């Protein structure tokens, strides 16, 4: 028996087809049973009539529960009334895996759905998000693959911090201890001296206690690092890859966006228009003049400020040249203004927060040592990193993009937890 996917069967549109999947909805009367079957590609209504099936088979069909796995053969035809516009008049079916009474019914709490996450993945909503997520990952790779970058991997067990000691996960490592990666960056900075243009997509870990709609303790981090880069190159690639990711989703996932109730018009400006670029100083001015929010120079932008700023534009905003004191130790100072660094944050539209953080990297070893010492770091763990500045150092830089952050924004999600199959937060590490 050759099975078509539901999408293929609807593409065929008429004649005999065999499909397989899971019962998504079922209802019936004494004479006819309606099953909406779901597979990885879509849904289709299937009708089993008592008259054609006979009493015995009809009784079996009538008892089918939601999430039963089954195969169905019959004649497909257009039907405006059916949920996906097509219907199969069933002439035979087979139960492959029976289903107990499915625990997920309408109107359940978000916490219950998290407990049953392994089942909730089967929902139309999660299926749409996961398809979009896969396209977002592929688009990131495609953008850099076609521009001469290669994929490079850092260890996940790492010797030191990079983004601040307070969000490090410590791991017992035999007799000693190590940390889970916060970023691939320091190892990529070693790697660029071999191949120059690198990217990765890998899990990063942050022990941030914050319970927000934007933070996970384990997230997928897409990063790039390149030798000979100027600060502008970093921002240009950030803008280029975000445009490419959004364009790919718009091209391939109109249907999924519709399932999510996400208006594609909200995303189109990002592909079409240049991103808004402003310095930190300019951002403070805009916040004060247009949003009546006063930020003292030297303070980081908080969620409220980022949200207000993003609400002024329909494309991401790139804020650059932050005060050195609010940014990481490795960021390079601005020429003639050492209190400001060549670092940038990309703030997504609609209050989805920071999607990219990037910078030019400090090449002066003495400056790096001084900053790390000031942060109370034991320099011995950084010897390998210092070597990158001792042997043929060059201007370089890169950025990191939070995949769940961008998926959240693209899909218009209420929480970042829905942007990943099995979310990890301070309060949730099962299933
Ligand atoms: O701004 P961050 O901390 O920058 C770095 O890690 C650099 N080393 C990247 C680089 O230059 N290679 O993190 C980068 C991005 C953020 O902009 C955000 O999108 C995401 O990672 N991110 C998180 N996403 C989900 N949950 C969290 N707890 C996140 N923390 C950061
Ligand atoms: Mg950041």
| Residue nearest (by alpha carbon) to ligand 1 atom 7 | 400
pLDDT band at 55 (very low <50, low <70, confident <90, very high): very high
Ligand 1 atom nearest the C-alpha of 354 is 17
- Cα 326 to ligand 2 centre (Å): 10
Give me the pLDDT at residue 251, please. Answer: 98
CATH 3.30.930.10 positions along the chain are 115-419
Q: Is the CB of 358 under 6 A from ligand 1?
A: yes
Burial zone of 352 (CB within 10 Å; 0-12 exposed, 13-18 middle, 19+ buried): buried
Q: Is the CB of 162 under 6 A from ligand 1?
A: yes
| Residue nearest (by alpha carbon) to ligand 1 atom 17 | 356
> Rounded to whole angstroms, what are the CA distances from 191 to 46, 149, 151, 311, 387?
55, 12, 11, 38, 12
Beta pairing, strands 15-28 & 218-227: unpaired
Q: Is the CB of 405 under 6 A from ligand 1?
A: yes
- Using one digit for the tens of pLDDT, what is the confidence trace for 314-333? 999 999 999 999 999 999 99
Beta pairing, strands 170-173 & 176-180: antiparallel
Prior bond of 64 cis (ω within 30°): no
> Rounded to whole angstroms, what are the CA distances from 238 to 69, 137, 153, 232, 340?
44, 15, 20, 10, 21
| For ligand 1, mutation pick of 149, 214, 310, 402 (most atoms within 8 Å of CB) | 402
pLDDT band at 211 (very low <50, low <70, confident <90, very high): confident
The CATH class of 6-97 is: mainly beta
Give me the pLDDT at residue 398, please. Answer: 98
Beta pairing, strands 396-402 & 353-360: antiparallel
Q: Is the CB of 163 under 6 A from ligand 1?
A: yes
Specify the CATH architecture of the domain 115-419: 2-Layer Sandwich (3.30)
Task: Give, for 199, the enclosing helix (H) or strand (E).
Answer: strand 197-205
As a whole number, mean pLDDT of residues 92-97 equals: 97
Task: Tell which residue, 167, 15, 117, 119, has the closest CA to residue 415.
Answer: 117
Q: Is the CB of 402 under 6 A from ligand 1?
A: yes
pTM of the predicted protein model: 0.96
Alpha helix segments (H runs only) across 4-86: 6-12, 50-53, 55-62
Give me the pLDDT at residue 368, please. Answer: 97
What sign has the CA pseudo-torsion 190, 326, 419, 308? negative
Residue with tokens 């203004």: 337
pLDDT band at 423 (very low <50, low <70, confident <90, very high): very high
Give me the pLDDT at residue 163, please. Answer: 94
What is the share, in percent, of the chain residues with pLDDT greater than 70?
100
| Both tokens assigned to 298 | 């030297």
- Using one digit for the tens of pLDDT, what is the confidence trace for 3-52? 999 999 999 999 999 999 999 999 999 999 999 999 999 999 999 999 99
Residue with tokens 């625990």: 103
Q: Are 369 and 377 in contact (CB under 8 A)?
A: no
DSSP 8-class letter at 169: P
pLDDT band at 212 (very low <50, low <70, confident <90, very high): confident
| Residue nearest (by alpha carbon) to ligand 1 atom 9 | 400
Give me the pLDDT at residue 184, please. Answer: 98
Length of the chain: 431
Above 90 in pLDDT, residue 165? no
As a whole number, mean pLDDT of residues 402-407 equals: 98
Beta pairing, strands 150-151 & 197-205: parallel
Alpha helix segments (H runs only) across 20-96: 50-53, 55-62
CATH 2.40.50.140 positions along the chain are 6-97
As a whole number, mean pLDDT of residues 389-412 equals: 98
Average pLDDT along the chain: 97
């Amino acid at each position: 028996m050759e099975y078509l996917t539901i999408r293929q069967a609807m593409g065929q549109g008429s004649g005999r087809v065999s499909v397989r999947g899971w019962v998504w909805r079922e209802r019936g009367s004494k004479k006819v049973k309606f099953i909406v079957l779901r597979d990885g590609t879509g849904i289709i209504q299937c009708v089993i009539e008592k008259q054609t099936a006979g009493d015995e088979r009809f009784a079996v069909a009538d008892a089918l529960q939601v999430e039963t796995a089954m195969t169905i053969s019959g004649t497909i035809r257009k039907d405006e009334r059916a949920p996906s516009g097509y219907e199969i008049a069933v002439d035979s079916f087979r139960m492959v895996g029976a289903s107990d009474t499915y625990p997920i019914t309408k109107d359940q709490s978000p916490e219950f759905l998290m407990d049953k996450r392994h089942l909730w993945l089967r929902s139309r909503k999660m299926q749409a998000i996961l398809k979009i997520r896969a396209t977002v990952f592929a688009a990131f790779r495609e953008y850099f693959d076609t521009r001469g970058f290669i994929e490079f991997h850092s260890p996940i067990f790492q010797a030191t911090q990079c983004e601040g000691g307070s969000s490090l996960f410590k791991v017992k490592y035999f007799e000693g201890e190590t940390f889970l990666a916060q970023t691939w960056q320091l190892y990529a900075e070693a790697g660029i001296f071999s191949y120059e243009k690198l990217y990765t997509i890998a899990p990063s870990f942050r022990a941030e206690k914050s319970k927000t709609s934007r933070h996970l303790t384990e997230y997928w981090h897409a990063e790039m690092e390149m030798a000979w880069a100027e600060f502008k190159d970093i921002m240009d690639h950030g803008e280029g890859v975000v445009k490419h990711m959004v364009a790919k989703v718009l091209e391939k996932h109109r249907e999924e966006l519709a399932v999510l109730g996400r208006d594609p018009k909200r995303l189109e400006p990002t592909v079409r228009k240049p991103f808004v670029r402003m310095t930190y100083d300019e951002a403070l001015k805009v916040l004060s003049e247009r949003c009546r929010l006063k930020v003292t120079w030297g303070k980081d932008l908080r969620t409220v400020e980022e949200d207000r700023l993003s609400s002024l534009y329909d494309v991401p905003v790139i804020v650059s040249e932050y005060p050195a004191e609010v940014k990481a130790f490795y960021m390079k100072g601005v020429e003639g203004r050492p209190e400001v660094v060549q670092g940038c944050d990309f703030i997504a539209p609609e209050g989805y927060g920071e999607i990219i953080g990037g910078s030019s990297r400090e090449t002066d070893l003495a400056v790096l040592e001084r900053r790390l010492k000031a942060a109370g770091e034991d320099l011995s763990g950084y010897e390998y990193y210092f070597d990158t500045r001792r042997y043929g150092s060059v201007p370089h830089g890169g950025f990191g993009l939070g995949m769940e952050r961008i998926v959240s924004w693209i899909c218009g999600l209420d929480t970042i937890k829905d942007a990943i199959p099995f979310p990890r937060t301070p309060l949730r590490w099962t299933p």
